[in-house]
Structure 1
Amino acid sequence: MQITRLVISPLLLAATYFAMPFTLAADEETTYQFDGRLEIDGHTVARPQQRIRTNEEQYVITQSESYPTIRLTYSISEAGGNLVNARFLIEQEGDSGWKTLMQPSLQAVLGQSQTITVSDNRSDEDDSADISFTFTVSESG
């Protein structure tokens, strides 16, 4: 019979105890006001305006007979100071499911507008589209 001993270092135990409050503080979420405008070929098709918590994912889907169906997924995380990290996934629905058009990730200054543009130039002119998304992230208060 084999006996296994588990020894926990007091230093490791202390480090775990003291690190715990910092971990909990880092998990606290900040809420921001997110205002956006999604345009296809110069026409506004969606205007998401909502409060969004850090690391929360939101999406908007556009459906129109005149334009392709677009899904825009976005999330915000803190970058420090007056900066936030903004992540986006812009997809177009096709015959075989959702096709990723663009997956930008950038830093944005709170209160300032940013614009992301993608041109989907396919061989078939009916399926091509110029997609632009302008957004502003500000402190929610």
Structure 2
Amino acid sequence: MATQPLQLQPDDGKLLTSAVARIAEFWGLTNPRLGAILGVSESTASRLRSGKAELDPASKSFEAAQFLLRLFRSLDALLGSDDLSARAWLTTTNLDLDAPPLELIESFKGLITVCDYVDAHRARV
């Protein structure tokens, strides 16, 4: 049985943009850092956070935002919805990853690596 590709809905960009803005708030991400994570400029990150722009479902930044949401949800489940613990985990050097996760997620490859790392630890729980 062949699987059908995920069909995006018209509001998906708006919903994901809103989720990313909340994640940035919870984790204390600056506009330059959020921009680096999403692969957009600091000013675009600012517009996304303020609701003056939204992520385009056909863009690479939309895909990065999906991974950021995945990381947020995984950490939230692993740490019991403790945003301070999540922020501390993100900013502390991780011996397995050899860097603070927050630095790694500024590249797309690093974001995927950190997501996979957290998901692997969730699987053990």
* TM bracket, shorter-chain basis: under 0.3
Larger radius of gyration: 1
Higher share of residues assigned strand: 1
* TM-score of the pair, normalised by structure 1: 0.24
